[in-house]
Structure 1
Amino acid sequence: MPLLVSDFSWTQTDSTVHISVPLKGVRAGKVDVVCTEEYLKVHFPPFLFEVFLPEPVDDLRSAAKVGNGAALFTLPKKTCRAWENLTLTTLNGDQKKEIRLAALQKHQERISSECRRKAERRQADRKFSLQAATKEVAELRPPRPRGNIQVSFTPRVFPTALRESRVAEEEEWLQKQAAARRATAALAEDLQELREEERNPEWLKDKGDWRFAAGDYLGAVNAYNLAVRLNPKMAALHSNRAACHLKLGNLHKAVQDASHALGLLTPPVAANAAARVRASVRRGTAFCRLQLYAEGLQDYEAALKLDPENPALQRDVQQIRDAVRRGPSD
Structure 2
Amino acid sequence: MPLLIKDYTWTQTESMIYITVPLKEARAGKVDILSADEYLKVSAPPFLFEAFLSAAVDDSKSAAKIGDGEIVFTLHKREGAIWEHLVLQNVEKENLQNIRQNAILKAQENALKEAEAKAAKKKANEKYALETIMKIEEDQRKKIEEIKEVERRRAAEELERWKEKQRIEAEHKIAQQKLEAEKRNTNGVKDLPKSDTQTGTKSAQSKKPLVVSLPPPRSAGTIQINFTPRVFPTALRESLVPEEEEWLKKQADARKALNNDLSELKDLTEEEKNPEWLKEKGNKLFASQNYLAAVNAYNLAIKLNNKLPSLFLNRAACHLKLRNLHKAIEDSSRALELLTPPVPDNSESRVKAHIRRGTAFCELELYVEGLQDYDAALKINPHNKAVAADAEKIRQVIQGTVPSS
Would you say same fold, with TM above 0.5?
A: no
User: Highest relative contact order (Cα 8 Å, sep 6+), 1 or 2?
Assistant: 1
TM-score normalised by L of structure 1: 0.42
Q: Highest CA radius of gyration, 1 or 2? A: 2
